[in-house]
Structure 1
């Protein structure tokens, strides 16, 4: 897999960061270095993005005792356990050859690591052969501390094709979400978006809008969306432990002065309260978060 595909290159050119992106992109490799392996071994959760059997893209959360994700070689990780029954990616993560994007985010330290590759089935879990491994800066990550592990839960509690009023409130209150995108042959990527509560606008029960803040100049997410509009969003309820998963299509809107926003159309909704979930403290907001002033484009 190349460092960037045509979608990312096109966005980098449009925004005027092609040279910077080429420099930053040198950090992308297929090797899991010792510091990355040590980081993974400390984490209690992993976000995985993939397509389900119908081709819809989702982002899901796996949890476990630290060590449930570990590097087993220079370009391979092993994940023990799986997703609860009813999670939209439960089947995909039990199927060899599934293209996956993963992100491990540590709210305690504001560190994050992404690893994208191809899944292999393994006893008691799965493995991922890495094709892209890299870390991101701590921008827009809220700091939190783990409080308790909750071992009971009904699993999936609601499915639909539009947001309920309660789900709309949860999205408006969110300071963090994860997004899975794809460019078909170039695989799947899972990334993070953060900001002050309200940075994600609910325009209707089937339409969201959020600003695209300045990041690492790679434009992997927007590049994927330029090639394929499918996207999966995951909104974690950090304090309660619930999960809100959305699948749909997204497109980037370019506004005046270099502003950008992403408009997302909801096609499927899954709300869950899974066993083995962590509850976290209230956040210490990132100093990089811009004040929320509403959207920049409509």
Structure 2
């Protein structure tokens, strides 16, 4: 089967993504690339990839317009594609995950399937068409693969725990949150494309970010400054922030199974001397915390550390 690309006349990129591509002088090249890579359906390879995953990263937006990044967990096969334009997810949100309140029929949703040990990752953006006691169904809008840059290789195993998760709402970063963030080499960011209104969601995206531990700087216990390294030039995350400056961050303690969910206002620093303080950064993302949730003993998976991405060799140490 030949996998055709984008079939529509209009661009596969929205106005925020196009604005950044035009600013950098790469819009024509990215239009050609996007029409080859981005599809309105799942290829057989992507259907098989999602079906073998024990977890998937999810992006949604709550009723107040706050984006959240989440994780769903299940035995491989909990994600299924009855057709190339539909996805069935048989899982419920973990305790304390904002997804429990954002998930509803008709919402926009973003998925990131990521396999750490192989460094494969694929994206799906779509609309929730049905929810039920077992999970939910999604109509696929866009799908595309991502390169393996900045993914740390990790193996995984599912575990059982008799410890009940402890859930705490936060408004600033205490020592617990600071330790998790400072030692993180991986996190996920959810952003939304909205049409000049905080209550009209037009699309949600969730992306991976990786770096050497310490690459995220914490300021005044409420602000994070994050280097943004070179990527595929789609500018999905930054394009969304161009139009709607809010994001949700997800940090996972891969050893303990703890989770930190954050949401807040977000800006992109495109120029200035500050960028030079982060070797390898092309721009900076500055996140201002609105609120978050700390959940201990949450994820029924443990990951073992294997090796850093070779792409991090050209970035700094902090």
Query: TM bucket by the smaller chain?
Result: over 0.9
**Paired residues of 2:246 and 2:265 also in contact (CA < 8 A):** yes
**Paired residues of 1:177 and 1:235 also in contact (CA < 8 A):** yes
Aligned with 1:71 (options 55, 62, 81):
81
Indicate the residue corresponding to 1:288 in structure 2: 311
Matches within 5 A, 1:1-298: 2-26=11-35, 27-93=37-103, 95-123=104-132, 124-184=134-194, 185-255=201-271, 259-273=282-296, 277-289=300-312, 290-293=314-317
**Paired residues of 2:256 and 2:302 also in contact (CA < 8 A):** yes
* 1:235 positional shift: 0.7
SS in 2 for 1:16: coil
SS in 2 for 1:238: coil
TM-score (norm 1): 0.93
Distance in 1 (alpha carbons) for counterparts of 2:267 and 2:257: 29
* 1:274 positional shift: 5.3
Distance in 1 (alpha carbons) for counterparts of 2:11 and 2:80: 25
Unaligned runs of 5+ residues in structure 2 are 1-9, 195-200
Distance in 1 (alpha carbons) for counterparts of 2:33 and 2:153: 25
SS in 2 for 1:261: strand
* 1:44 positional shift: 0.5
* 1:111 positional shift: 0.3
**Paired residues of 2:264 and 2:289 also in contact (CA < 8 A):** yes
SS in 1 for 2:100: coil
Could you give the per-residue CA deviations for residues 112-168 of structure 1, whole angstroms, max 9, x where no partner exists?
011001012243100111101011000000000114423444335211111111101
SS in 2 for 1:131: strand
Distance in 2 (alpha carbons) for counterparts of 1:127 and 1:148: 24
Q: Choose 103-112 or 80-89, whichever is displaced more.
A: 80-89
- Root-mean-square deviation over aligned CA pairs: 1.8
SS in 2 for 1:116: strand
Distance in 2 (alpha carbons) for counterparts of 1:24 and 1:218: 9
**Paired residues of 1:172 and 1:199 also in contact (CA < 8 A):** yes
Distance in 1 (alpha carbons) for counterparts of 2:109 and 2:158: 29
Distance in 2 (alpha carbons) for counterparts of 1:105 and 1:52: 24
Could you give the per-residue CA deviations for residues 58-96 of structure 1, whole angstroms, max 9, x where no partner exists?
111110100011111111111002103432120222x10
Could you give the per-residue CA deviations for residues 158-205 of structure 1, whole angstroms, max 9, x where no partner exists?
111111111011101111111000112530001111111111111221
